[in-house]
Chains A and B, each alone.
Chain A
Amino acid sequence: MNVTINGEPATVEPGRTIAAVVPNVGVFCAIGVCHGCLVTVNDVPDVRACQRVLREGDEVITR
């Protein structure tokens, strides 16, 4: 499955969360509570990287 992360193309296994494939994204609790890992996905801000499963074509921007 193909996505882009900060503009760089990446191939990921289906079912992966953003937090699992993007290093240093600010994960603390990994269960959606702490909001430490907020990223922008397809122009939608404040998406929790630990909760969001990647989909084909996703464009992820980290802070």
Chain B
Amino acid sequence: MHVVVVGAGVIGAACAEALSAAGATVTVVDRSGPAAGTTGAGEGNVLVSDKEPGPELELAQAARRQLPELLAKLADELGPELSDVEWQPKGGLVVATTDPRPLRDFAERQRTAGVTAHEITPEQAFELEPNLTREITTAVHYPEDGQVQPVLLATTLLSAVRQRGGRLLSGVTATGATKSALVTDSGTIACDHIVNACGPWAGDFASKLGAPLPVLPRRGLILVTTPVADLVRHKVYDADYVGAVASGDADLQTSTVVESTPAGTVLIGSSRQRVGFDETIQVDVLRELARKAIRLFPRLAGVNVMRAYGGFRPYTPDHLPVVGADPRVPGLWHATGHEGAGIGLAVATGRLLAELMTGQEPHVDPKPFRVDRPGLAA
């Protein structure tokens, strides 16, 4: 079985890895190269804390269980350098600065779905995060939350694919398909299946194959500070994060996610805005992020921000990923629509897709992610 995966972001890379592990011959094509789009502009969140009970949380939990196992396996296969993805299972801390009840209720619902969510006192929160604002009303600690460096994760997965004999073709743009081949600007590639892992551009690509898909870009901006020692230890969010992720509003929404990286920089995300593929910087968005971050960590006011980067996250009308076969075009499969959660959902998405394609028992229920579900109907 020869599969061509279109898109070398983390989702395409995870699909390619899982397919090659299942014995398929895999070719990955990307018009730029690995992690050049959405993945390269991501924070690297591997989160369960921000998800309501439901299909997405189940996928996230599955991915969270698989990621350390997969990384250990890839370390054996690739060696320590190529398999290093800066995986940090450091835990997340969600804090409320106003009414504590919504966060409490949310954590309670998550616990019934199997998420580890410890409600802790403000004092305990200050022990975990000494620089946190004193103005918090409650906090929930999520030890399962973690972080990777997304470009490293995508390139590690692709390295495994290549090690197993698969191919990575960078600078090759997919333009269409015939019954048994992908058509690109550098010739056709004969294959049995095509996986559409084009992220926010997945709708465009699907249209070219005669299978329209309602995936749209949602812009996210992240601020990066200069390196600063021991100011932030976990991933820290304010409790309105959940609301912003699940919202369909076009207007700007920001919620604070503050975390440090192994390099010492502090990442501050994340805004969500439906502005098409507009890349221009908006200072009011940056200002809002800065204000909310300082509200959580007042000491950040004196730290320099040196970089801002923006990316486009693929979202669907019902905010669920699309994973599986497209009944309209035999041989076409989709793996997209993960919005800002793709890094954390990638490895379970890849495994699910490989299971469906090879006829194995799926490890998570695939029905909610079907392309012909009512939630995707126009």
Tell me the smallest distance from the CB of A61 to a CB of chain B, in Å: 14
Q: How far is the CA of A44 from the CA of B304 in the complex (A)?
A: 9
Residues of chain B touching chain A, judged by Cβ–Cβ distance below 8 Å, are 226, 228, 302-304
Q: How far is the CA of A44 from the CA of B302 in the complex (A)?
A: 7
Tell me the smallest distance from the CB of B245 to a CB of chain A, in Å: 33
Residues of chain A within 8 A (CB-CB) of B226 are 45-46
Q: How far is the CA of A45 from the CA of B302 in the complex (A)?
A: 7
Q: How far is the CA of A46 from the CA of B302 in the complex (A)?
A: 10
Residues of chain B within 8 A (CB-CB) of A44 are 302
A interface residue count range (under 10 / 10 to 19 / 20 to 34 / 35 or more) = under 10
Q: Does A43 contact B (CB under 8 A)?
A: yes
Which residue of chain B is the closest to A44 with respect to CB atoms?
B302
Instruction: Known A-B contacts: A45-B228, A45-B302, A45-B303. Give 6 more (CB < 8 A).
Output: A43-B302, A44-B302, A45-B226, A45-B304, A46-B226, A46-B304
9 residue pairs A–B, Cβ–Cβ below 8 Å: A43-B302, A44-B302, A45-B226, A45-B228, A45-B302, A45-B303, A45-B304, A46-B226, A46-B304
Q: How far is the CA of A44 from the CA of B301 in the complex (A)?
A: 10
Tell me the smallest distance from the CB of A58 to a CB of chain B, in Å: 17
Residues of chain A within 8 A (CB-CB) of B304 are 45-46
Tell me the smallest distance from the CB of A8 to a CB of chain B, in Å: 24
As a 0/1 sequence over residues 26 to 59 of chain A, the CB contacts with chain B under 8 angstroms (1 = contact) are 0000000000000000011110000000000000
Residues of chain A within 8 A (CB-CB) of B303 are 45
Residues of chain A within 8 A (CB-CB) of B302 are 43-45
Tell me the smallest distance from the CB of B57 to a CB of chain A, in Å: 40
